[in-house]
Amino acid sequence: MKRVVKKIILTSALLVCGCLGFMFVKIYNNQDAILFMAVPLSQDYKFSSKHEFEEIYLDGKDGGKIHALHYKTKEKPKGLVLYYHGRGSNLAGYWSEFTDDFIERGYDLLIMDYRSFGKSRGKLTQSYLLSDAINVYKYAAEQYKPADIILYGRSLGTSIATYVASKHKVKMLILEAPYTSISDLAPGQFPFLPKSLVSSLVKYPLKTYEWIQSVKTPIHIFHGTKDKLIPYSNSVKLHSLAKNRTEVELTTIDEGTHNTLMHHNEYQNKLDFLLK
């Protein structure tokens, strides 16, 4: 009888380990799709907008090709907003809806698609993602003074914008719904799996908490208290890490969720002030 019980226990343990192993492999191999949710476009796709714009192509490492749109105001611009967008969609979809927020406030807007998004192509790694972001900044700095460039990161793009700000001087860094790191967020997406093991599988740790401590430019953070994708506590921690190193302000949007901050007066009024 004892042998039977031991055999059942051993078999069960092997099955559990096998299932966990399968889950870990699946998570590791599919995390690009889970994290980025990128939507590609054909290279002959024709963009349209009520605003004047130019399509930009920049070369990246390992043969990468980065596509961006450079929107311009009709009058002399106050400066440039360099926008690093969140996950999902592309410049022809969801991220095209935010041009008015900046153009109508008197700023030119430069927004890139990451590799595998839209018309951008190339192997996607954290190193390439960050180097591409720097290349787009360098393109911007050839046409605008650093003191006239505002970096704006939203969701996924907040860590990327923070990394660029940690390397280059700009007028301001604005973060909408930032996170401390992907390694911190990942376990929350898989609460039934061991936290340490899930964190160890992350290919894109994107350590905002580390880079924000090297930012010397003023920082403004927006975050909603009802954000279920990236909890508000992430911004509280980032604010605490940055406050002794640079000027930093956190605008808390009561009842704000991950994708609704722009619908709140607190957000619009503060953006008016920041971009005045």
Looking at residue 25, what is its pLDDT? 56
Question: 54 and 31 share a domain?
Answer: no
Instruction: Judge whether 114 and 132 are in contact, CB under 8 Å.
Output: yes
In one-letter notation, the amino acid at residue 115 is R
- In the chain, pLDDT over 90 holds for what percent of residues? 79
Instruction: Look up residue 175 and give its amino acid.
Output: L
Domain identity same for 61 and 161: yes
Closest C-alpha among 161, 146, 132 to residue 61: 132
Residues 145, 45, single domain; the answer is yes
State mean pLDDT over 237-252: 95
Residue 22: its pLDDT value, please? 46
Arithmetic mean of pLDDT, 59-84: 97
- Residues 28, 60 within the same domain: no
Q: Would the pTM of this model clear 0.75, i.e. be above it?
A: yes
Please check whether residues 94 and 147 belong to one and the same domain: yes
* Residues 266 and 213 reside in one and the same domain: yes
Q: Does position 148 have pLDDT exceeding 50, yes or no? A: yes
- At 260-270, the pLDDT tens digits run 999 999 999 99
What is the extent of the structural domain holding 2? Answer: 1-36
Same domain, 87 and 20: no
Angle among Cα 54, 57, 61 to the nearest 5 degrees reads 155
What tokens appear for 113 in the block?
């698609």
Same domain assignment for residues 199 and 137 = yes
Domain count, the chain: 2
Residue 48 and residue 166 in one domain: yes
Which pLDDT band, with edges at 50, 70 and 90, does 21 fall under? low
Q: What is the pLDDT averaged over residues 209-214?
A: 98
d(CA 194, CA 21): 12
Mean pLDDT of 96-102: 94
**Residue 213 pLDDT exceeds 70:** yes
Same domain, 15 and 70: no
DSSP 142-172: TTS-GGGEEEEEETHHHHHHHHHHHHS--SE
CATH number, domain of 194, equals 3.40.50.1820
Mean pLDDT of 135-150: 98
pLDDT at 4: 55
Supply the mean pLDDT for the chain.
90
